[in-house]
Chains A and B, each alone.
Chain A
Amino acid sequence: EVQLVESGGGLVQPGRSLKLSCAASGFTFSNYYMAWVRQAPKKGLEWVATISTSGSRTYYPDSVKGRFTISRDNAKSSLYLQMNSLKSEDTATYYCARADSSYNAYWGQGTLVTVSS
């Protein structure tokens, strides 16, 4: 059974950093692209980042480019999202997802990040 478990969310002040983690199990992690998708409270879904199987290629929307960094450790079956220079508009639930042929086929339960002073 595919399982994705996010952790690392919490309350953080504007301008500070936070690192999210996603522990994967139930599949061969190194065979899949992985992604982060977020959802602000009562709002829709927003794609945040995607990483290739080896980690050599990463993709971001302009809203987070230069501030967020996606990475992975295939030996640990883990995905990460380093978030720097956080803004209030980054407040959201962050979901880790397995990207099957570009579609987010499996999702974690999410971890809430609140950016506030």
Chain B
Amino acid sequence: DILINQSPASLTVSAGEKVTMSCKSSQSLLYSENNQDYLAWYQQKPGQFPKLLIYGASNRHTGVPDRFTGSGSGTDFTLTISSVQAEDLADYYCEQTYSYPLTFGSGTKLEIK
């Protein structure tokens, strides 16, 4: 099984600050035949269901603000929020969809000062 190590577990920032969180995979998520990384990021606000933010490591899902950026390839991936807003208070999860069983990271809880 592919293990996903997500960090940090939590972080607290002020509105307007830049935030980065990491996701490291135990093996490469890059599929050589299409040069695509099979890594997604989800946002789950308190009391809500998760929502897809980023797929293919760096592609924003429909309607996702451009302050959210996904980057990385292979085994190391990053989600960056360029200027955090109060509404970004949430848990963030990464997921590998390279192979079954699909696995999620343990999540990063983002709190706003």
Contact = CB atoms under 8 A, between A and B. Distances in A.
Interface of A: 37, 44-47, 50, 59-62, 95, 100-110
B101 interface: yes
Contacts, number: 55
A61 B101 contact: yes
B97 A107 contact: no
B100 A59 contact: yes
Interface residues of B, number: 23
A103 B52 contact: yes
Contact of A101 (B50, B55, B105): B55
A104 B40 contact: yes
B18 interface: no
Contacts of B52: 103-106
B51 to A, nearest CB: 7
A62 B1 CA distance: 10
